Amino acid sequence: DTEVTQTPKHLVMGMTNKKSLKCEQHMGHRAMYWYKQKAKKPPELMFVYSYEKLSINESVPSRFSPECPNSSLLNLHLHALQPEDSALYLCASSLTPGTSGFGSGELFFGEGSRLTVL
Amino acid sequence: AQSVTQLDSHVSVSEGTPVLLRCNYSSSYSPSLFWYVQHPNKGLQLLLKYTSAATLVKGINGFEAEFKKSETSFHLTKPSAHMSDAAEYFCVVSADSGYSTLTFGKGTMLLVS
């Protein structure tokens, strides 16, 4: 199994709603990532989890709250979002969080959750 | 610090003709370099990677790239384009500094007619 599975594929929410995006991988990867991608732009890193602990938060607003319940799952909780938060949210995983050694730096991406905030 | 410059925002080719997508990088460390492809409304898929082994790297779907340290380049090529190659391509650098995140180029849209 070399897949990263994201649900839901599409989500529409109002600015007062609370919703969650989910990501799952069963490759034994110990690093998991959330990226935000706007149209015609490269992905922008939001969060990195390393061995289930949050290791990088790229100054993301608190209305985005990540959670890593176990080594296979990654959630992104959404609350009080703004219309400018509408984007494709990509989850990725890698064998290790470092950049040396086999598999270093190679990310496996899910297909994304397309979020629309009204 | 590290950076990536993709020299073309769009490249148009005819089916059956060669593809060249250009990428230059800057890194303080020995870099790992990657090309990812993203088809419309899809996630990113790794095409190939350079991690200080052979300088000519072969990837999936007939793509290859050559690491040229003297030119700080990692251009992506394919001898013959196929319609299914139409997608966004990202050149990515990862510095070998013990722990790092990836730096993405701005992307090159490949159009195949």
d(CA B70, CA A39): 34
Closest CA to A32 of A21, A44, A48: A48
pLDDT, one tens digit per residue, over B22-49 is 999 998 777 889 999 999 988 999 999 9
Higher pLDDT, A49 or A1: A49
Residues 6+ apart with CB under 8 A from B41: A88, A111, A112, A114
Task: Output the CA torsion B53→B57→B58→B63 (10° steps).
Answer: 160
Residue of A37, A100, A108, A114 to mutate for B, most B C-beta atoms under 10 A: A100
> Binning pLDDT at 50, 70 and 90, where does residue A96 land?
confident
CB contacts < 8 A (A, B): 64
d(CA B17, CA B7): 20
* Residues recorded for chain A: 118
Higher pLDDT, A21 or A95: A21
Handedness of CA B109, B78, B4, B1 (dihedral sign): positive
Instruction: Please state whether the peptide bond connecting residue A8 to the residue before it is cis, i.e. omega within 30 degrees of 0.
Output: yes
CA distance to partner chain B, nearest, from residue A15 (Å): 24
CA distance to partner chain A, nearest, from residue B38 (Å): 10
Q: Which residues of B touch A (CB under 8 A)?
A: 32, 34, 36, 41-46, 49, 51, 90, 92, 94-102, 104-107
Q: Report which secondary-structure segment, H or E, holds B112.
A: strand B108-112
Q: Is the pLDDT of residue B11 over 70?
A: yes
> Binning pLDDT at 50, 70 and 90, where does residue A105 land?
low
pLDDT, one tens digit per residue, over A2-50 is 699 999 999 999 888 899 999 999 999 988 999 999 998 999 999 989 8
pLDDT, one tens digit per residue, over A54-64 is 988 889 999 99
| Confidence at residue A102, expressed as pLDDT on a 0 to 100 scale | 44
Give residues 27 to 66 of A whose Cβ lies within 8 Å of B: 40-43, 45, 48, 56
